[in-house]
């Protein structure tokens, strides 16, 4: 194994306890932390009903947090990083950008 493999993780070690699973968990927890903080800022502004943009952002943040929680559950179940459309491993580069991705790019595009 090269140093690059060890730091980036591979599809094989995304299983619970693997290097990839640990990296994925760190990314997801960072994501959860950032979104939760942003949500708290929005909530602290009080009544958002008159602010359409803030409301939209609020909904997006809540959905993202749900996705993050679901991804953490998949990590525990050992199914993290597997496309729900074609059952192929989702490329590591995509998971770096979107750690809670459920689909590979091809299947995601097909769903639109
Ligand atoms: Zn797919």
| CATH code of the domain containing 59 | 1.20.120.910
Of the two residues 8 and 25, the one the predictor is more confident about is 25
Is the residue at 26 inside a domain?
Answer: yes
CA of 95 from ligand 1 middle (Å) equals: 13
Checking if the pLDDT of 52 tops 80, the result is yes
**How many whole angstroms from 108 Cα to the centroid of ligand 1?**
7
Residue 1, domain member (yes or no)? no
Please indicate, yes or no, if residue 45 is contained in any of the structural domains.
yes
> What pLDDT does 2 receive?
46
1 has a pLDDT exceeding 50: no
Give the separation between CA 52 and CA 7, rounded to whole angstroms: 42
Domain that holds residue 57: 9-110
* Distance from Cα 14 to the centre of ligand 1, integer Å: 17
User: What's the mean pLDDT in 68-82?
Assistant: 95
* 3 domain residue, yes or no: no
Would you say residue 47 lies in a domain? Answer: yes
Say what the pLDDT of residue 101 is.
96
- pLDDT the model gives residue 111: 86
Distance 22 CA to ligand 1 centre (A): 23
If you count them, how many residues does the chain have? 112
Give domain status of residue 93, yes or no. yes
How many angstroms does the Cα of residue 38 sit away from the middle of ligand 1? 31
User: Is there a contact between 72 and 25 (Cβ–Cβ < 8 Å)?
Assistant: yes
The domain total for the chain is: 1
């Amino acid at each position: 194994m090269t140093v690059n493999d060890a730091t980036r993780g591979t599809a094989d070690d995304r299983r619970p306890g693997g290097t990839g699973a640990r990296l994925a968990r760190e990314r997801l927890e960072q994501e959860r932390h950032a979104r939760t903080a942003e949500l708290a800022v929005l909530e602290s502004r009080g009544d958002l009903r008159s602010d359409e943009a803030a409301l939209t952002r609020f909904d997006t943040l809540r959905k993202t947090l749900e996705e993050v929680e679901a991804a953490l559950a998949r990590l525990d179940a050992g199914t993290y990083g597997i496309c729900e459309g074609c059952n192929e491993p989702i490329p590591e580069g995509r998971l770096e950008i979107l750690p809670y991705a459920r689909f590979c790019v091809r299947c995601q595009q097909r769903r639109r």
